[in-house]
Structure formats: structure tokens, C-alpha cells
Amino acid sequence: MQGIGIVRRVDHLGRIVLPKELRETMNIKPHDGVEIFVNDDTIVLQKYNPSCVFCDSSEELFYFKGKIICKGCLEDTRSHVV
């Protein structure tokens, strides 16, 4: 992991602001999701990129029984009903 030399303070509501340069570099736009991971004493933020659990597609996604699935795989599941 690499430090970028920028320090931000946590406000009274627990928020931090990601610097504009970082958001631009990581292609994070307003209203994009950010995943939060914790590893021991390290917090990692990662841009959230949902994808189909079967084929990894990020097009035409739906929630199906709590999982993210694309339209094509959803149609495949319907045609393979036993």
C-alpha cells in the first residue's frame, strides 16, 4: 500500500472527504458506492463495482435471492429449471 501524503480529519458525524485528485484518479463520481474493508488496523476503501456472481458482467444487473445477477444469467436460470 502506498501513502499519498494527504491527511483528512474525521468530522463530528464520522465523515471524511476524499480529495478531488484522488476521486479523479480513481474515477469516483458523486453518488458512486465505495466499499469499506478492514484488515487488522487498516481501513481500505475501494470503488464499488457490482457484477454478476456467475459471469462477472456489469451490464443489466438485478438482485436475485440476495445475489447480483445479470439479465442473461437470470434468463439462463429460468431455462434450466428442473
As given in the structure block, the three cell numbers for residue 30 are 458523486
Domains of the chain: 1-49 (2.10.260.10), 50-82 (no CATH)
Sign of CA dihedral 65, 67, 71, 76: negative
Predicted local confidence at residue 9, as pLDDT:
95
Predicted local confidence at residue 82, as pLDDT:
62
Cα-only R_g, the chain = 18
Predicted local confidence at residue 65, as pLDDT:
86
Predicted local confidence at residue 81, as pLDDT:
64
Mean pLDDT, contiguous 10-residue spans, the chain (82 residues): 82 95 92 93 90 92 89 83 63
- The Cα 40–Cα 78 span in angstroms is 42
